Structure 1
Amino acid sequence: MALTYPLTTLSTRSQVTKSGGRVSQVEAFKKIIREEGPKGLYSGISSAMFGIAITQYVYYYWYELVKAALEKAAGADRALTVAENMLTGAIAGAATAGITNPIWVINTRQVVKKNDSDDNAKPIYKKQGTIETAMKIFREEGLKGFWQGILPALILVINPVIQFTVFERLKGWLQNRRSTALGGLDFFILGAISKLAATSITYPYIVVKSRMQLKQSGDENTRYKSVLDGLRKIINTEGVRGLYKGIEAKLVQSVLASAATFALKEQFFSSATWLLVLLKLRANKVAEAIVAVPP
């Protein structure tokens, strides 16, 4: 998240811009540097770092929990089917969306720095921290303000479903053709491919979610009553390409972040396993030494 956050900023700002004109990511980057300086690329990074930590924990916790339960029910004779993998990802994704949506509403407001998707709207979160932003949302919108965009977020459950299904299938396919264990580079590439597929398919819902997470204005064209209403209004006012604003930066960010996550996860898992074995051996040696000492 820290390494790829400038790409997240570029993508999110592009997603909520309602103008029909197409602005390149390079031009958007130059505009942020010119008007806000380098720190503008890291708007809201504190809430993002906290949010990604909670999101990853909740998602992996539920994913591994459900996966273990399904594997136990299926027995040791077979691997999980595609449908079972999808069910696992869907449950984990739904739990994650429901629990972490308030964090990402706060983060979106801090990145965009305004209440709605009006290009001329006055920035109001420019100097506000995470707590100040949260208090402002609560005062103006109540608790429901923290769950703006929850419906497209729940629909986006299909994103990790696609990602993990593709990842697990490619992983199994590659392992069957390798005589050696897969390494960090293998997991990096598999993570990149799986995230690329998931993000490309679900991006229009990401755009709608980002816009709905802003405070809804009185303008009928920017006020979305539902996910389908949002998709329809974007197409009517901005064309189909409006559903893919900022996708270039998002694809690069998602692929790099996901690939690094998969690679580091496997490396940390191997290191943790090695450390636990080492500690167990050390504990056994200490125990043997204590037993060997005469009373």
Structure 2
Amino acid sequence: MSDALINGLAGAGGGIIAQLFTYPLQTVNTRQQTERDAKEEKRKIGTVGHICQVATQEGWTRLYGGLTPSLVGTAASQGVYYYFYQIFRNKAVATALERKRRGIGDGSVGMFSSLLVAAFSGCVNVLLTNPIWVVVTRMQTHTKKSLSDQTELINEDNLAALEPPPFGTTHAIQELYDEAGIWGFWKGVFPTLIMVSNPSIQFMLYETLLKKLKERRASSKKGNKSVTALEASFDIFLFGALAKLGATVVTYPILVVKSRLQAKQVTGGDKKRQYKGTLDAIVKMIRYEGLYGCYKGMSTKIVQSVLAAAVLFMVKEELVNGARWLLTKDAITVRSKPS
């Protein structure tokens, strides 16, 4: 089994576990990002309050709306990303070593090369998996208020007493196709491609922090002392969290734009709620909502992203180490068998 495939499968497994752990936060964050009504602006509540509100008004299951396609998307995204990331990184390492043989550089992959590797991997991932995430966004933002888009016969007083209509994966797919045809599944792909910088910054920070730690341990007096598995896991958890925190703060406004474009668009009425594209969404958000609109739900996203990234990195590394140990053990067993 190739190292790229091991990393791809481990990334998928780690992503699924992280998604299950933090999904309610992700659902709430997507709703916060797409809120634009004046009434909703006045009713500012925290993350916990928002979770309780959804659970009380719509049931706990709505916090897991779109979980199935999200798990599929997470497995696909993490698998694709880590698979191509390892392939591109192996090429970067080979190039760095070749340059060293020619007397150029020290043979290590620099920060800029790491950024390019992460960016290329992210672009491939976005182009292949964007349709899944558009469906997930539709399912996460589908609420009882969606009924008002379907009929004008229901007044606002009676709307709260009604249960939302069934809205599963097939409903979301059909809605998207009816709105914009096959290209509807690539809504928000441009800001999503820009968001490639998020994991790029994340991995750049993560690998830089890890490299600095290894260098410090190697040069310290305790360099000969082996690091315990618990210490290694804690370092990975901490650096994964710090890397994701930095990347999220820098790129969050683009994430809000992506969610607005992928959510169900209002077809009539207030023009400020209708977006023609990425630039139009940015202009209207700043004009009508100010800079605050670009950072709606950021506190929720930071908690969700940091927890998810930390869990993902820790689980992925353990899965990779476990897979390599099993393969090495099997290889030793095969060589030791008498011929």
> Fold match, TM over 0.5?
yes
2:136 maps to which residue? 107
Q: Could you say what secondary structure the match of 2:20 adopts?
A: coil
- Cα offset, 1:279, TM superposition: 1.0
2:252 maps to which residue? 203
How far apart are the structure 2 equivalents of 1:26 and 1:38? 13
Q: Which residue identity is paired with 1:273?
A: R
Q: Could you say what secondary structure the match of 1:54 adopts?
A: helix
Q: Which residue identity is paired with 2:87?
A: L
What is the percent sequence identity of the aligned residues?
A: 36
1:79 maps to which residue? 108
Q: Which residue identity is paired with 1:112?
A: T
Question: Which 4+ stretches in 1 moved above 4 angstroms?
Answer: 117-126
How far apart are the structure 1 equivalents of 2:26 and 2:247? 17
- Write the deviation string for residues 146-187 of structure 1: whole angstroms up to 9, x where unpaired: 011111101101101110000010000011122345611110
For residue 202 of structure 2, the aligned residue among 163, 167, 188 is 163
- Cα offset, 1:249, TM superposition: 1.4
Count of aligned pairs:
287
* 2:261–2:277 Cα contact (<8 Å) kept: no
Q: Which residue identity is paired with 1:199?
A: T
How far apart are the structure 1 equivalents of 2:240 and 2:328? 28
Cα distance change, pair 175–125 in 1 and its aligned pair in 2 (3 A):
farther
Cα distance change, pair 239–10 in 1 and its aligned pair in 2 (3 A):
same
Segments of structure 1 that go 5 or more residues without pairing to the other structure are: none
2:146 aligned with 1:146: no
1:270 maps to which residue? 321
Residues 216-231 of structure 1 correspond to what in structure 2 (within 5 A)?
A: 216-218=265-267, 219-231=270-282
* 2:73–2:129 Cα contact (<8 Å) kept: yes
Residues 55-134 of structure 1 correspond to what in structure 2 (within 5 A)?
A: 55-75=77-97, 77-113=106-142, 121=149, 127-134=166-173
* 2:31–2:140 Cα contact (<8 Å) kept: yes
How far apart are the structure 2 equivalents of 1:212 and 1:192? 28
2:6 maps to which residue? none
* 1:109–1:125 Cα contact (<8 Å) kept: no
2:258 aligned with 1:215: no
- Cα offset, 1:140, TM superposition: 3.4
How far apart are the structure 2 equivalents of 1:120 and 1:249? 27
Alpha-carbon RMSD across the aligned residues, in angstroms, is 2.3
1:237 maps to which residue? 288
2:311 aligned with 1:260: yes
TM-score by length of 2: 0.79
* 2:147–2:164 Cα contact (<8 Å) kept: no
Cα distance change, pair 118–212 in 1 and its aligned pair in 2 (3 A):
farther
- Cα offset, 1:228, TM superposition: 2.9
For residue 29 of structure 2, the aligned residue among 5, 8, 11 is 11
Segments of structure 2 that go 5 or more residues without pairing to the other structure are: 1-18, 101-105, 151-158, 218-222
- Cα offset, 1:136, TM superposition: 3.0
How far apart are the structure 1 equivalents of 2:147 and 2:88? 43
* 2:205–2:243 Cα contact (<8 Å) kept: yes
- Cα offset, 1:284, TM superposition: 2.2
TM-score by length of 1: 0.90
* 1:101–1:147 Cα contact (<8 Å) kept: yes
User: Which structure has greater helix proportion?
Assistant: 2
2:232 aligned with 1:183: yes
Q: Could you say what secondary structure the match of 1:224 adopts?
A: coil
